[in-house]
Amino acid sequence: MAGAGDPRRVAMVSVHTSPLEQPGTGDAGGLNVYVAETARELAARGVEVDVFTRRTSGDVPVTVELVPGVTVRHVTAGPYEGLSKNDLPGQLCAFSAGTMHAGLAVPEDHYDVVHSHYWLSGQVGWLVADRWRVALVHTMHTMARVKNRLLAEGDTPEPRGREIGEAQVVEAADRLVANTDDEARDLVELYGADPAAVSVVPPGVDLTTFRPGDRTAARRAVGVPDDDELLLFVGRIQPLKAPDVLLRAAHEIVRRDPSRGARLRVAVLGGPSGSGLDRPTELVDLARGLGIADLVHFVPPVGRAELAQWYRAADLVVVPSRSESFGLVAVEALACGTPVVAADVGGLPTAVGDAGVLVRGHDPAVWARSLDDLLADDTRRETLSRNAIEHASRFGWGATTDRLLSVYRDAMARYAAGLRGGPSALADAGTGSRP
């Protein structure tokens, strides 16, 4: 149950993607999982949660109960369909108005804190928290200035308007939640955040669903022969996630030893997203162009139980992202006991720990060597598998939510006292209103 000083009710804002959506395609991904899982955990502790998200279909009810204590509230802002994430800044006024209108149906002190996710939601959270006179906690999830530093060749940079919007949210928020120490540094160094206002709260993993299991049974369930070498990519298909690096590395492995083509398999689970929507067949075309189309299997996004089977079936899970605030896929795979080979960027070193291999850069030849060396070393993979289970056990959603509650308590107390930004704000005590 909620403890002393804990919020009674939390309003979460997730404008561009709903916790009800299937992760792995469109704009649905780790953020969806984060919102859904932390909301569930908060409800289990007796904290009621309302999640405000944009309505994308006339068939979706205005309110949906995710679990007892968690209500997803669909706000009409613009046409239901046909809007990309890049179109949504023009709908923030409508979304804010719809959210505040929904708030008219409850008492003025109904919510104790607003927690916004992603910069679009932060713009809305800034307004509604000020209207409801409560503290604003914000989680970026990704940041434009970080993504633009690590842009894939030919990918579209994040617009200047997003950078400005993110800086505004950093200034407005009472507390900022970073997934890792690296992300906290980026908030301070790239956006001028007050270090005392930033709290590091690693995301979690569903340790009930994602757990070790029988590899043979898992392979039978997903249709993979026992003697195949399976490399698995899970995520949205877009340049930022760099699935092309895996395909090029697989091609390099087979080029060096053509006999490997009889056993090597690559599975890509996910759908086009972001700038990948402009070229939805690009990865399929790449596999054909490389001459490895018969080795690569494209699988649409699947539910969590089936996803766990794919993780267990894989020899290695490959996360070659160019930017990653944390790397939820990596931790899910580790929880299933599968070693991970990941890019040495962003939050992936934290997510992977000593349970995988980190690769510098995105040279396919370097990735091919790392993957091939690990596939050939059964003993090392077994050691990494043991490390994986131990490492992932530290990332349960319960631990994440405990830390979030601490952030909420601190934000609420300081807002009530008219303070912002931690100890350095003591000299700036005022009315508690935002700039």
Q: Is 352 annotated as a binding residue?
A: no
Whether 284 contacts 243, CB under 8 Å: no
Which residues have C-beta within 8 Å of that of residue 65, sequence separation ≥ 6? 71, 72
Q: Is 297 annotated as a binding residue?
A: no
- CA-to-CA distance for 356 and 316, rounded, in angstroms? 9
CA 109, 110, 113, 114 dihedral sign is negative
Q: Is 402 annotated as a binding residue?
A: no
- CA-to-CA distance for 253 and 245, rounded, in angstroms? 12
Q: Is 220 annotated as a binding residue?
A: no
Q: Is 29 annotated as a binding residue?
A: yes
DSSP assignment of 2-54: --TT--SEEEEE-SS--TTSPTTSTT-SHHHHHHHHHHHHHHHTT-EEEEEEE
Crossing angle between the packed helical segments 282-290 and 243-256, to the nearest 10 degrees: 10
Q: Is 31 annotated as a binding residue?
A: yes
Q: Is 138 annotated as a binding residue?
A: no
Q: Is 241 annotated as a binding residue?
A: yes
Q: Is 74 annotated as a binding residue?
A: no
- For residue 49, the one-letter residue type is V
- CA-to-CA distance for 140 and 242, rounded, in angstroms? 21
Q: Is 37 annotated as a binding residue?
A: no
Whether 114 contacts 93, CB under 8 Å: no
How many other C-beta atoms lie within 10 A of the C-beta of residue 355? 25
Q: Is 147 annotated as a binding residue?
A: no
Q: Is 16 annotated as a binding residue?
A: yes
Q: Is 360 annotated as a binding residue?
A: no
Q: Is 332 annotated as a binding residue?
A: yes
How many other C-beta atoms lie within 10 A of the C-beta of residue 20? 16
Annotated binding site for 1D-myo-inositol 3-phosphate: 16, 27-32, 85, 118, 142, 162
Annotated binding site for Mg(2+): 311-312, 314, 338
Annotated binding site for UDP-N-acetyl-alpha-D-glucosamine: 22-23, 30, 236, 241, 302, 324, 332
Annotated binding site: 16, 22-23, 27-32, 85, 118, 142, 162, 236, 241, 302, 311-312, 314, 324, 332, 338
